[in-house]
Structure 1
Amino acid sequence: MRQEHADEYAEFASARAGHLYRSACLLAAGDTHLAEDLVQETLGRLYVRWARVSRVGNPAGYAQTVLTRTFLAHQRRRSSTERATDVFPDLPAADGSDGGDSALLRLTLLDALGRLPPKDRAVVVLRYWEDRSIAQTADVLDASSAAVRTRCVRALARLRELLGEELGAYARP
């Protein structure tokens, strides 16, 4: 890679790494180690193709697409020896001594996101965290707009079912 491309890539990676990491944390349902791996894999793939990617009109959007597809590929190849769990270690104290409800809300939402199937989780993150349109989400997931709408409705219904009355405790008037 030429030096000018390397410098340009380093600047892009520095600027976007934090945003990619936050999105990856949501996709990974709070698994920060997996999120770091996803970001590293994404940035590695971008580095290899940077000469081409830098000419794209929206390299940040391209990076998000690569991140989402890397996450979905990881979910498909999960080893049969790995077992997902629905229990978070080190939950905050129930008496509110954690400094507020925001941490408990974040953990509750991450737990609910973690219970969604990977593609449903990706749709929710892309549509509501990344604020992408249905067409943009469909393009990232390589699916039809109708499939994205259907997944979105089902994922939100499942989140409501999982959160139940818990979400009402965090709603602010």
Structure 2
Amino acid sequence: MRQTHEQEFANFFDDASPRLLAAAWFLTGDRHAAEDLAQEALARTYARWGRVRTGEPLAFARRVLANLHTDRWRKHRREVLTDDLPEGSHGSDPQTVDLVRALTTLAPRERECVVLRHYLDLSERQTAETLGVSVGTVKSYTMHGLRKLRIQLVEGEQTHV
């Protein structure tokens, strides 16, 4: 029976890890931090696999990812974010790099709401459950985050012209 669980998790890992890694990258804006975040979320999912495998393991992993990210930004609030992406950062598409750069300027909760709602396609209710907040809070953070992103991305286009 244990071997069946191991194989189920291996299949889950193969399916979920690219999406979790991309979501973590959008949340952090840093390839190495994203890898650490996704790896830790998958490790914690594995530790609870016996309980979560019959439910919605991807939802559990997303919640762990979001919670880990929240814990990290609370712990490291004093760190200074820069506009410069490190050499060889994840993704080379200029639009993706601009989006990640713009995402890093959002407040952490706004960034989480925008990524969960519009990258992972979670509903407002699912996002609220993942973050442990109300649906109204998700709506508010998402609205403010999208407004800021639109302003930044439009200004960025105007400076490149």
TM-score range relative to shorter protein: 0.7 to 0.9
1:9-32 residue CA offsets vs partner (Å, 9 max, x unmatched): 122112211111111111112x11
Q: Which residue of 1 aligns with 2:43?
A: 44
Instruction: Identify if the C-alpha distance between structure 1 residues 89 and 34 changes in structure 2 by more than 3 Å, giving closer, same or farther.
Output: closer
Verify: 1:162 aligned to 2:152, yes or no: yes
| Structure 2 gaps, min length 5 | none
Q: Which residue of 1 aligns with 2:117?
A: 127
Q: Which residue of 1 aligns with 2:53?
A: 54
Q: Which TM-score applies when normalising by structure 2?
A: 0.87
Q: CA RMSD in A?
A: 2.2
| Structure 1 gaps, min length 5 | 92-101
2:45 touches 2:57 (CA, 8 Å); kept in 1? no
Q: Which residue of 2 aligns with 1:105?
A: 95
Give percent identity, aligned residues only: 37
Give the C-alpha shift of residue 84 in structure 1.
2.0
Letter in 2 for 1:128: H
Q: Which residue of 1 aligns with 2:83?
A: 86
Q: Which TM-score applies when normalising by structure 1?
A: 0.82
SS in 1 for 2:93: helix
Q: Which residue of 1 aligns with 2:71?
A: 73
Would you say how many aligned residue pairs link Structure 1 and Structure 2? 157
Letter in 2 for 1:83: V
Q: Which residue of 1 aligns with 2:16?
A: 16
Structure number with higher helix proportion: 2
Verify: 1:63 aligned to 2:53, yes or no: no
In 1, Cα distance between equivalents of 2:40 and 2:18: 14
